[in-house]
Structure 1
Amino acid sequence: MNISPFHVWAIVRFLPDMQRVVVNRFRRRSDAEECLRVLRRAATGRDYTLLYYPPGEEATFMVRKEYNKLVRDRIPEILTSQQVKFGVEPMTQTQYCQALRQKLIEEAQEAAEAGEDNLITELADLWEVIDATLAAYGIQRNQVLACQMQRRIERGAFSRKLRLLWTED
């Protein structure tokens, strides 16, 4: 693509290790926003954002990425060791419980999309969030296991690998 001084709007895709790649540049913000909407619909698992990003500033331009989500306790230490600037703040108990529920969804989605080589890691992450949720709500693991057994007796497990195709009312 020919990049002129007028292509100042860029769609950027974030990669691991704080890397980013410019996907496309645009003269008009409206064009960039429309392309971004299409990209987000087509590639839901990818992280794209729109930036004012003039040519020649790639080396010095710093990107602030907003997260506003629960992270593990050692993340600030890891970011500091990588010389990454960041901001954190403690949550109230109510905010923490709500963030844990959001994290359950996030980790379950990652486990559902994981390949076989990464499934154990994603399940371990999910289990960590489940343990934190149990602790936050004062629930004992044996209470959950007892409830699981009761539901297994009432509704069965998944050992028969059944798929429900249809019902009639």
Structure 2
Amino acid sequence: MPIYNKLVRDRIPEIIVATNKKYSMKVLEPAEHEVEIKRKLIEELKEYQEATSNEEAIEELADLLELIYAVLPLHGTTIEELEEVRVKKLEKRGGFDNGYYLIEVEDD
């Protein structure tokens, strides 16, 4: 029996049951959940970096976004509040659309 020891999507247990396979799992406490979401974010980011097609890249970006949504309640916030912070930062400092790559800035 393969051992995974990783955070999985909420419907994975039901999908496994549908295949008539046995499994073991536990429900994580909030602190453990946050640790595992951070670990999963790294895993999914790596998969995004290794994507070789637009389709694969979009799949991995969707996974990253889902993990971000999942961690928000652990920080006492919502998607809407996150979006407000994103927009404020966008207005104050801009986005990343232009591809500017800073090399150096003269010291005072």
TM-score (norm 2): 0.79
Which residue pairs with 2:47 in the alignment? 110
Which residue pairs with 1:81 in the alignment? 18
Runs ≥4 in structure 1, deviation > 4 angstroms? 166-169
Specify the structure having the higher radius of gyration (Cα): 1
Q: C-alpha distance in 2, partners of 1:95/1:76?
A: 19
Q: C-alpha distance in 2, partners of 1:97/1:117?
A: 28
How far 1:117 sits from its partner (Å)? 2.2
How far 1:166 sits from its partner (Å)? 4.3
Which residue pairs with 1:165 in the alignment? 103
How far 1:167 sits from its partner (Å)? 5.0
* Partner amino acid, structure 2, of 1:133: V
- Gap runs ≥5 in structure 1: 1-63
Q: C-alpha distance in 2, partners of 1:151/1:126?
A: 20
Which residue pairs with 1:134 in the alignment? 72
Percent identity between the two aligned chains = 36
Whether 1:144 aligns to 2:95 is: no
120-129 or 106-115, which deviates more: 106-115
Give the structure with the larger helix fraction: 2
Q: C-alpha distance in 1, partners of 2:28/2:56?
A: 30
RMSD: 2.1
How far 1:95 sits from its partner (Å)? 0.8
Which residue pairs with 1:9 in the alignment? none
How far 1:148 sits from its partner (Å)? 1.3
Give the structure with the larger strand fraction: 1
Q: Number of paired residues?
A: 106
Whether 1:94 aligns to 2:31 is: yes
Q: C-alpha distance in 1, partners of 2:106/2:36?
A: 39
Q: C-alpha distance in 1, partners of 2:41/2:13?
A: 21
After superposition, what is the alpha-carbon deviation per residue over 1:57-88, rounded to whole angstroms, capped at 9, x for unaligned? xxxxxxx4332111112212222333444221
